[in-house]
Homo-oligomer: A and B are copies of this chain.
Amino acid sequence: MSDDRRLEILRAIVQDYVRTSEPVGSKALLERHQLGVSAATVRNDMAVLEEEGLITAPHTSAGRVPTDAGYRMFVDRLSAVKPLTRAERTAIERFLHGAVDLDDVVTRTTRLLSSLTHQVAVMQYPSLSRSSVRHIELVPVGGTRLMVVLIVNTGRVEQRVIDVGRDLTGQEALVADLRARVNGTAVGEALTAVPDRLVGVVDAVAPEDRPVASAVAAALRDALEEQAEERVVLSGTANLARVNTDFPTSLSAVLDALEEHVVLLRLMGSLSSVPDADRVAVSIGAENPYAPLRTTSVVATSYGVAGGLGVLGPTRMDYPQAMAAVRAVAHYVAEILDG
């Protein structure tokens, strides 16, 4: 029962392969690791690992390379998320604390993450799922036109200018009344709950004001929908090109896929929605539901409750390091967005 040793060998193969990006053979393994056995024994174990589908040989007389399943085993059972150094933590903290607004937080986060991991960083904008209305503003902007501004607790702002079909000059009282009503109904509520509640507002105003009220309600629904349309930001795509030995033909396919933000959103959504808060999710190669990304791995987690962030790179990735960076960055981002 040399099960333990075999796994130790798998771990060594993964580590060496990630480092050198070259298939690793039995001899090379012995040079770099004190396994306490001979090359022949390593070869026997490697044969078993290959049978189990954890490693594979690109061709007869080359070394072995981990399969997706091998990486999976490595991530699940053979690696610990290595804690960052104190210096790294303070560097992260300092860099992120310089951010002035939400956009800046997102930009800085993705840059930070891509430079820490040398992979492509992906971050979802805080989403509507747990967001709420902070304030709604109504501003007459001349004649029959009214500006409707929706401000969300995550700091996002959405605005619309609508035509209410009625001259609002000198109608400050009406506007103020409406403003008070919509704010009274919506502020603090989850974005998802607001559309329903707006119905009540329209019903409650004087009949002659209904058209104006319902125009406002329509604009707000529209703005809310826009908020629901989530966004995602990338950084470090150049890192993909740098390791283009890992993407024989499909580099441009991967780059294409990265411009499909809808796909990335779904990906981040599914990976970051795990119940366990501190958990970092990993999707490896063929595990990926979206075909063009089958040659890549994604390491992601959620920051706080409102969205996900992570990195994407070749399956040949330094998982422990990526997981540590993603977790630490998510931690600080959550802290900043809460404050």
Contacts and interface: CB of A to CB of B under 8 A. Distances in A.
A241 interface: yes
Nearest to A111: B259
A149 B151 CA distance: 10
Interface class of chain A by DSSP: mixed
Contacts of A235: 259
B134 A141 contact: yes
Contacts of A239: 252
Which interface residue of A158, A241, A256 has the most chain B CB atoms within 10 A? A241
A68 B233 CA distance: 35
Which interface residue of A155, A160, A240, A259 has the most chain B CB atoms within 10 A? A259
Contacts of A139: 135, 137, 151
Contacts of A252: 238-239, 241-242, 244
Interface in A147-166: 147, 149, 151, 155, 157-160
A263 to B, nearest CB: 14
A338 to B, nearest CB: 14
Contacts of A135: 139, 141, 147
A255 interface: yes
Interface in A238-281: 238-242, 244, 251-253, 255-256, 258-259
Nearest to A257: B238
A237 interface: yes
B241 A251 contact: yes
Contacts of A157: 149, 157, 159
Given A139-B137, A242-B252, A259-B235, A101 B226 contact: yes
Interface residues of A, number: 33
A172 to B, nearest CB: 10
Nearest to A187: B141
B255 A238 contact: yes
A87 interface: no
Contacts of A101: 158, 160, 226
A26 B149 CA distance: 65
Contacts of A255: 237-238, 240-241
Nearest to A134: B141
A236 interface: yes
Contacts of A158: 101
27 contacts: A101-B158, A101-B226, A134-B141, A135-B147, A137-B139, A139-B151, A147-B151, A149-B149, A149-B157, A155-B159, A157-B159, A235-B259, A237-B237, A237-B255, A237-B259, A238-B252, A238-B253, A238-B255, A238-B256, A238-B258, A238-B259, A240-B255, A241-B241, A241-B251, A241-B255, A242-B252, A244-B252
Shortest beta-carbon contacts, A-B, top 5: A238-B255, A241-B252, A238-B256, A157-B157, A242-B252
Interface of A: 100-101, 134-135, 137, 139, 141, 147, 149, 151, 155, 157-160, 222, 226, 235-242, 244, 251-253, 255-256, 258-259
